[in-house]
């Protein structure tokens, strides 16, 4: 425990309220003008000898990078829920604690998933393109028709906090909720949703499929040609979780053939430079990995990261610590 202001560095400028708290409660260098990469992070860490390091996905810490952190570092606090950019076992093995920012992202991520469902189903990308070109003619009765979302069957893969929040919102559209998860929820959490132990058994019943589970670049994609073929013809796929969950070659084929009516993606396999051939498809609605991109949520994420630093410095349990 220390009575001095905890020393920290961050790899990116955080929102104004978070930066104000850093100035008030912590000892830190000025925020970087641009997001730091891993090499720049390590250079700053050795120069400043911080107690804690606040990171995002722009500065991954894996393998040799973990070993290169100075001995002063006792906590790596990522301003994210995802941990793909951190070698958590290696950090813990060095007795460096790890924290993330769960829960505070739930509502905004769920809101975005519903936006993707609506936009993909109602051809928002195509309508926007038409309007930007000047519109110019009346559409025929059967031209550029989308699909109604109300009353459809929504399959959710991953019924954690965000999946349950999506289900809650979808019930406002009178959607039937199906879900596949590592375990069946208790009846109160299910709230009438139908559980499928096997993903393959659920897919034929899904008008819309929404992904809300962790992903790993080293694991085979969950959504591939075989799983896409099990969906009803003309269904909609939404991914606001991780790009690694989807085989994008199979996705392109399904969008071109009509097996998928449309898709809504916030995440991609190669970020921030997705496959141009995928982005060119007219029946894809896309956003640039912005599930948490609201003032309220990004502020809450930064504040939770700082809460973890304060707790660590005071010798208290971390509010959102990560175990191996």
Single out the catalytic residue among 39, 200, 271, 296: 271
Single out the catalytic residue among 57, 212, 269, 289: 289
Using CA atoms in the order 154, 293, 100, 156, what is the torsion angle rounded to 10 degrees? Answer: 0
Residue 251's contacts (CB-CB under 8 Å, 6 or more residues apart) are: 223, 228, 237, 260, 263, 278
Q: How far apart are the first and last CA of the chain?
A: 24
Q: Is-catalytic flag, 289?
A: yes
Q: Is-catalytic flag, 271?
A: yes
* CA 211-215-221 angle, 5° bins: 80
Task: Compute the distance between CA of residue 252 and CA of residue 30 in angstroms, rounded to an integer.
Answer: 44
Task: Compute the distance between CA of residue 324 and CA of residue 313 in angstroms, rounded to an integer.
Answer: 21
Q: Is-catalytic flag, 242?
A: yes
Structure tokens at 123: 């051809």
Structure tokens at 256: 């071109």
Q: Rounded to the nearest 10 degrees, what angle do helices 124-132 and 106-121 cross at? A: 70
Nearest Cα to 75, choosing from 124, 136, 2, 142?
2
Residue 220's contacts (CB-CB under 8 Å, 6 or more residues apart) are: none
Single out the catalytic residue among 57, 212, 242, 298: 242
Task: Compute the distance between CA of residue 298 and CA of residue 264 in angstroms, rounded to an integer.
Answer: 23
Query: Running DSSP on this structure, what letter comes out for residue 238?
Result: E
> Helix and strand tally (H, E) in the chain?
13, 11
Q: Just list the catalytic residues.
A: 242, 271, 289
């Amino acid at each position: 425990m220390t009575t001095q202001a905890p020393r920290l560095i961050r790899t990116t400028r955080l929102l104004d309220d978070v930066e104000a708290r850093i100035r008030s409660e912590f000892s830190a260098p000025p925020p970087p003008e641009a997001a730091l990469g891993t090499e720049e992070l390590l250079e700053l860490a050795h120069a400043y000898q911080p107690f804690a390091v606040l990171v995002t996905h722009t500065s991954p810490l894996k393998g040799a990078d973990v070993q290169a952190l100075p001995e002063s570092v006792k906590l790596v606090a990522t301003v994210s829920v995802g941990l793909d950019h951190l070698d958590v076992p290696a950090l813990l093995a060095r007795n460096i604690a790890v924290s993330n920012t769960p829960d505070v992202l739930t509502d905004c991520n769920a809101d975005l998933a519903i936006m993707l469902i609506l936009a993909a189903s109602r051809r928002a990308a195509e309508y926007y393109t038409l309007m930007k070109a000047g519109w110019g003619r009346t559409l025929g009765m059967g031209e550029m028709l989308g699909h109604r979302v109300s009353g459809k069957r929504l399959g959710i893969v991953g019924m954690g906090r965000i999946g349950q929040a999506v289900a809650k919102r979808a019930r406002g559209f009178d959607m039937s909720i199906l879900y596949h998860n590592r375990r069946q929820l208790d009846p109160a959490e299910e709230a009438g949703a139908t559980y499928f132990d096997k993903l393959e058994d659920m897919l034929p019943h899904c008008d819309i499929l929404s992904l809300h589970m962790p992903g790993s670049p080293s694991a085979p994609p969950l959504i591939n040609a075989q799983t896409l073929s099990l969906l009803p013809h003309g269904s909609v796929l939404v991914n606001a979780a991780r790009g690694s969950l989807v085989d994008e070659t199979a996705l392109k084929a399904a969008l071109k053939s009509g097996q998928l009516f449309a898709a809504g993606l916030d995440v991609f396999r190669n970020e921030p430079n997705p496959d141009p051939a995928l982005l060119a498809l007219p029946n894809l609605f896309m956003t640039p990995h912005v599930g948490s991109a609201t003032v309220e949520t990004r502020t809450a994420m930064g504040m939770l990261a700082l809460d973890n630093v304060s707790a660590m410095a005071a010798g208290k349990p971390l509010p959102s610590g990560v175990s191996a």
